[in-house]
Structure 1
Amino acid sequence: MTEVSQAIAEHIPREFGCSTRLARRGFLMGSLASLAACNGVGPDYVPPTIALDSSFVEGGAQQAGDVAGQRWWTELHDKKLNDLVARGLAQNLSVTAAMQAVAEARANAKAVGVGNQISGGVSASVTGIDVSEDTFGIIPDQARSATLSAGTALAGVDRRREAALAGLEAAGLDVGTARLAYLSGIVGAYIDARYYQEVLELTRQSIANNRRILQIVERERAIGQAAELDVARTTAQLANVSARLPSLESAFLANVYGIAALLSESADPLLKTLQVGAPQPVARSSPRVGTPANLLRNRPDIRAAERRYAAAVAAIGIAEAQLYPTLALSGTISTSDTTDASIFGPSLSLPIFNRGALTARRNAAIATAEQAETAWRGAVLGAVREVQTAQSAYRLSGRRVSRLRDAVSATRKAFDLTERAYKDGAIQLLDLLSAELTLTEARTALAQALQQSASDWLALQIATGSGWAAGPNTLPAKAVASAE
């Protein structure tokens, strides 16, 4: 028996009705548990703080409340969009991958004892025997031997758990960030798809108008009331307008294919569904943006960055623990009374020869934590910028929509009057062609303004973190099956 074991064993009383050998074993196991419960080393985590304005530039000081579960896309009153969003929340690959990362982080946390009331790492392996209730409650009398190994660091155990728990929480928040990215992608693609559909319809109407004008000009040319130049001009404008169709159709298809990818579905059935026209989504509400401080709670990317900072601080303690001595106790337990050999052989590891490398690792961990804190601050300031940018953009795009509605109404009236005047011979053909082109441009501009307004509204919802907790919290069946 070594001097360390002897010193510990001398404090074991003999009046507990058990042999000295077994008492020593139990005391040593308790000692290991006590060592594992020592306080962590390194700095204790303190949540970061940042100075923020009491309100956004264009918003009041009213609190936003918890927006995580808000299904804001339903405010566009589009049943097809609602169905698409719901399907994607359950099967989008990016969201699924983020949820799989949570499963990985949970396993890593469990491996270091998070949530399991574990105070140290103790493992027992029994060879050639059946588990029974004698001795330690696991080793039967007839067993020849069993090997018990136990090891615990003098410090750093708690920090590993802190880091694992923070990593698990960050992974869970990453699911929310993935959901927001998905929502931004699918709602944005739907807004754009309906916009291109609208412009396609406006272009087809313009083509029909130009064909009607061409028919009028050709009839007049046949009776000598119009020149060949008038026919050529009308034909040229018709061709120019018709040339817009392919690029518009391509843009529409690109957004449909993008939606299909976000849904992890085949594009063909979706294309058939979306080819049935529908009005452009119109945002009619103003999201409650709250205050800059609300973003610290409502933005999952900010919260995840804070958790990663916490993990990085814990990693400093893990690295610093390597600078301390490590005690390892191992040996063989025998149930035979023929020998009273040493039970445990303690070994003490002193970081002497590699202390420089271990110190460098600790310093690297400090630098990593500083970077994580900077990343958190950058995420906060970036979120504030995103909210204020989207807020002003939504306000101004709404103003543009209002003015363009008036412009389209006036332009349509002007075109009707111009067409009537041309038929009466009061104006030239160029005036009619110009009026038709102006009407098409005004209607297209309104469609683009509606698209921009809806996109700005969408950006504001995403910037405030609204809806990040919407959707199922379990992996889809296909993902679970593939993982198995």
Structure 2
Amino acid sequence: MPVSRLFSLYPAGPVVLTALLLSACAAVPDIGPQPVVRAPETIEAERSLAAAQAAWPAEDWWKVYGDEQLDRLIQEGLRGSPDIAIAAARLRQANATARQAGAGLLPSADLDASAGATKQSYNMGLPKDFVPQGWLGTGRVALDLGFDLDLWGRNRAALAAATSEERAAQIDAQQARLTLTTALADAYADLARLYEDRDIQARALEIRTASQKLVAQRRQNGLETRGSERQADATVASAKAQLAAADQAIDVRRHQIAALIGAGPDRGLSIARPKLSGLTPLGLPADVTTNLVARRPDIAGALARTDAAAKRIKVARADFFPAIRLGALVGVQSLGYETLFGPGFTPAGGPSSFADKLFRKDSLFGNVGPAISLPIFHGGALSAQYRGARATYDEAVAVYDKTVLGAYQQVADAVTARRTLERRLADARSALAASEDAYAIARQRYEGGLFTFLDVLNVEDQLLAARQSVAELEASAFTLDIALVRALGGGFAAHDALSKDLPNG
């Protein structure tokens, strides 16, 4: 009895059949409730992130430093950096994967055509007179149609997962941009520090040279020993070595900047001394404790991957249920038209062409109907796949939570460092002023014969160390400012919503 006739006699037939199919399926294991990502409201950070109000960083945040050379370098990097190219290629890969997943929701069609020649054996148990003689042509043209009903939402969940992964790749491109721009700004700020250090080393060489001349003069007058003179010579040689090391460090940092922007080391030779300015006072957005998760590309990317992992669980769960695919095959085929391989067999009606015989009405063939795939026993493979998808989701949630906590830590660290920098810099400048006074007094007392050269040398060392400390703290102000920009997301904003659940997805 046809299935349609059975269903007409028994209206409950489809329900009964569905129940039977589901009862025969492999059982879905119970793996407990899914964890959820951590909400920003659960993170206590109000006191640590207390600061004056300020706006979120702009997309071109580096322009506030007023250095046109830095702007040009960053623009070059955004155009030519291999890291940006890598992120763009990965985005195209994710886009292609999403398109491939979307194809599962559409019908498929394949056209198959073939032509050839065949010769049948005369020794297959049939009289030779009943077997076609010689080589005979064969032909077949068929159109194969298929459509997955996707009753349990497997294909839709796969598309949603691929779409979330594509979104994550888009955000990764923004993260690559933030990483590049902040790395360039960091290296550029450090280049400014290295130039300041070179100035200090050049000034140190001047001081050591002046002391050397003074010691040599006093020795000629019988007021100093040969040992003191040689010690002064040694300090000059050491100062020259330190100056050469400062020049080397500047060249190395230039090479690094050139590599970051995707250029060769010769590009670094044209990088002039930075002229950074426009350092702003410490400030944080008023909604930083709750809106930070939407301003950090790494957090948004982790959330998109968590969303994709949740959809992969639905894909694995759908594998436990029967899959129904509608199929249709229609075409024409024939055997026996005359070929050119030999005299062959000529029918009573005379030789017939390929097209005449192949496309006759009698050559039509086909079939249509549903195909049902019912999983019953796979040795635990489906259960393992389902548990693995859940474990991947649990990992994605943990990675997201870790990324969120790390983001708040980075902001708090930058705020704390910026807040204490002003006090440290004020103390260092006071120490420098005192060291300069002490050095002036020591020179006077040495010229008056009240100090030894070793006493002067100790005071010189303290003066140079104080100058070095002030220069490093002044340079670190820009470094910490860049760190705060990086911690606040560098102008990123997740405007587009992540993929939502589709019906039955």
Residue 446 of structure 1 and its aligned partner are, at CA, apart by 0.8
Contact 1:198 1:279 in 2 (8 A): no
How much has 1:187 moved relative to structure 2?
1.2
1:27-426 matched pairs, under 5 angstroms: 48-50=37-39, 51-53=41-43, 55-60=45-50, 67=57, 69-113=58-102, 119-125=105-111, 127=113, 145-152=141-148, 153-155=150-152, 156-274=154-272, 277-278=273-274, 283-289=279-285, 290-334=287-331, 337-338=361-362, 343-354=367-378, 356-426=380-450
Q: Give the 3 Å change call, closer, same or farther, for CA 72–52 of structure 1 in structure 2.
A: farther
The alpha carbon displacement at 1:424 in A equals: 4.1
Return closer, same or farther for 1:52/1:254 CA change in 2, 3 Å cut-off: farther
Question: Would the alpha carbon gap of residues 393 and 149 (structure 1) be closer, same or farther in structure 2, given more than 3 Å must change?
Answer: same
Tell me, what secondary structure is at the counterpart of 1:381? helix
Q: Secondary structure at the match of 1:244?
A: helix
SS of corresponding position for 2:377: coil
Structure (1 or 2) with the greater strand fraction = 2
**Could you give the per-residue CA deviations for residues 136-162 of structure 1, whole angstroms, max 9, x where no partner exists?**
xxxxxxx98541220314330110111
What letter matches 1:122 in structure 2? S
The offset of 1:331, in angstroms, is 3.7
The structural deviation recorded for 1:374 is 1.0
Q: State the 1:264 CA deviation.
A: 0.7
**SS of match in other structure, 1:344:** strand
SS of equivalent to 1:123: strand
Distance 1:469 1:309, change over 3 A: closer
**Inter-CA distance 147–421: structure 2 relative to 1 (3 Å threshold):** same
Counterparts of 2:463 and 2:282, CA distance in 1 = 30
Residues 21-67 of structure 1: CA distance to partner in whole angstroms, max 9, x if unpaired?
Answer: xxxxxxxxxxxxxxxxxxxx999999734243464433348887664
Counterparts of 1:268 and 1:9, CA distance in 2: 83
Give distance in 1, aligned partners of 2:159 and 2:4: 30
CA displacement at 1:372 relative to structure 2 = 0.7
Are the aligned partners of 1:124 and 1:149 in contact in 2 as well (CA < 8 Å)?
Answer: yes
**Cα distance, 1:120 vs. partner?**
2.8
Amino acid across the alignment from 2:394: E
Q: CA deviation at 1:123?
A: 2.1
Q: State the one-letter code of the partner of 1:354.
A: H
Unaligned runs of 5+ in 2: 10-27, 115-138, 333-359, 495-505
Which structure 1 residue ranges, 4+ long, deviate > 6 Å from structure 2? 5-10, 41-47, 61-65
- AA at the equivalent of 1:379: T
Q: Using a 3 Å threshold, how does the CA distance of structure 1 residues 8 and 262 change in structure 2: closer, same or farther?
A: farther
Cα distance in 2 between the residues matched to 1:328 and 1:279: 68
User: Deviation of residue 442 (structure 1)?
Assistant: 0.9
Following superposition, the deviation at residue 337 of structure 1 comes to 4.7
Residue 232 (structure 1) shift: 2.2
Higher mean Cα deviation, 225-234 or 383-392? 225-234
CA contact (8 A) 2:330 2:365 kept: no
Change (3 A) 1:74 1:280: closer
The Cα of 1:101 is off from its aligned counterpart by: 1.0
Report the CA distance between 1:397 and its aligned residue: 2.1
Is 1:429 matched with 2:478? no
The 1-side partners of 2:381 and 2:413 are apart by: 47
- TM-score by length of structure 2 reads 0.74
Does the CA contact (< 8 Å) of 1:312 and 1:369 recur in 2? Answer: yes
Offset of 1:166 from its aligned partner? Answer: 0.3
Is the radius of gyration larger for structure 1 or structure 2?
2
Q: Could you tell me which residue of structure 2 aligns to residue 37 of structure 1?
A: none
How many angstroms apart in 2 are the aligned matches of 1:363 and 1:44?
12
| 1-structure distance, mates of 2:38, 2:96 | 31
Per-residue deviation, residues 116-137 of structure 1 (Å, max 9, x unmatched): xx84332243759xxxxxxxxx
Distance 1:92 1:9 in 2: 68
Write the distance in 1 (CA, Å) between the matches of 2:60 and 2:314.
Answer: 42
Gaps of 5+ in 1: 11-40, 129-142, 471-484
